[in-house]
Amino acid sequence: MKILVFGKTGQVATELARLVPDAHFAGREDADLSDPTACASLIATLEPELIINAAAYTAVDKAEDEEPLAQIVNGAAPAAMAQAAQQVGAAFVHISTDYVFDGSGDAAWTPDARPAPLGAYGRTKLLGENGVVEAGGTYAILRTAWVFSAHGGNFVKTMLRLGQTRESLTVVADQFGGPTPAADIAVTCLAIGKALIESPGKSGTYHYAGAPDTHWADFARAIFTEAELATQVEDIPSAAYPTPAKRPGNSRLDCASTHATFGIARPDWRSGLRAVISDLEKTT
């Protein structure tokens, strides 16, 4: 199968490279996402069977000041990709986010729940989702949350770095979600992509996040326990850790339709955490 992945150095793209090293991984030198036309042109040239968009503008706080750029990268570029995918008959898997919701309540968000982004990042990702749907091709929008791996910047690596020098840390305990290993997202993108090629009628929006749901402070404790660090964690409310962009309080995602349609269950993030820490220990 001829696979095109947008993204080269991100967490999911790096894991995809482990699984399908022969795929074409498009970095900025191939098609900068700030130029949607270039993204569409690359698809037209390569004519892949499966396209996975694992690239995005992910600087949540910075997006508050750079929303026009984020609109192009997260909104216009995926729409252009989806349109080009439709024209060449390729299946398109687009990774999105829990930030399209306002984070209210405590029930897990279903794929058909009404989006209401709190900030620029969520608004631009929702714009991209809408563009993918409107393209009318064979697609899956895969919303995920709290992604972590041994690569790039993420919560696990930040906690491990701070835990090396701090006896204690304060961590937010009123934001809930499912930490999701990038390695499992990569496997799922490929499985969904192959299923779409065989059954285009399965196109739609799906959720995929790790289990069990937790909050950031307990996730930090699990990280320190797994890494055998004695760092203590003090629970604090979000109000005690203000950020330019407001974070959703409830990022729980209902993944039932993903399991029902594709037979893909939520991954256990604790197993993923063990694998990530093991990877990191091998490189230090």
The H-assigned helical ranges of the chain are: 11-19, 36-46, 67-70, 77-88, 120-135, 155-163, 182-198, 216-226, 256-262, 269-282
Domain extent listing, the chain? 3-154+178-210+251-267
Residues annotated as part of the active site? 121
Axis crossing angle, helix 216-226 with helix 269-282, rounded to the nearest 10:
50
Residue 89 has pLDDT above 70, yes or no: yes
pLDDT of residue 281: 86
Across 237-256, average pLDDT? 96
pLDDT mean across residues, the chain: 97
As beta bridge partners, residue 250 has: 176
Residue 284 has a pLDDT of 64
How far are the Cα atoms of 47, 48, 104, 135, 147 from residue 84, in angstroms, in the given order? 9, 11, 36, 9, 28
Q: What CATH number was assigned to the domain covering residues 3-154+178-210+251-267?
A: 3.40.50.720
Task: Find where tokens 């095109």 sit.
Answer: 4
- 181 within 8 A of 223, measured Cβ to Cβ: no
Q: What percent of the chain has pLDDT over 70?
A: 100
Two tokens, residue 171: 């961590």
Q: Give residue-wise pLDDT tens across range 175-206.
A: 999 999 999 999 999 999 999 999 999 999 99
pTM over 0.95? The answer is yes
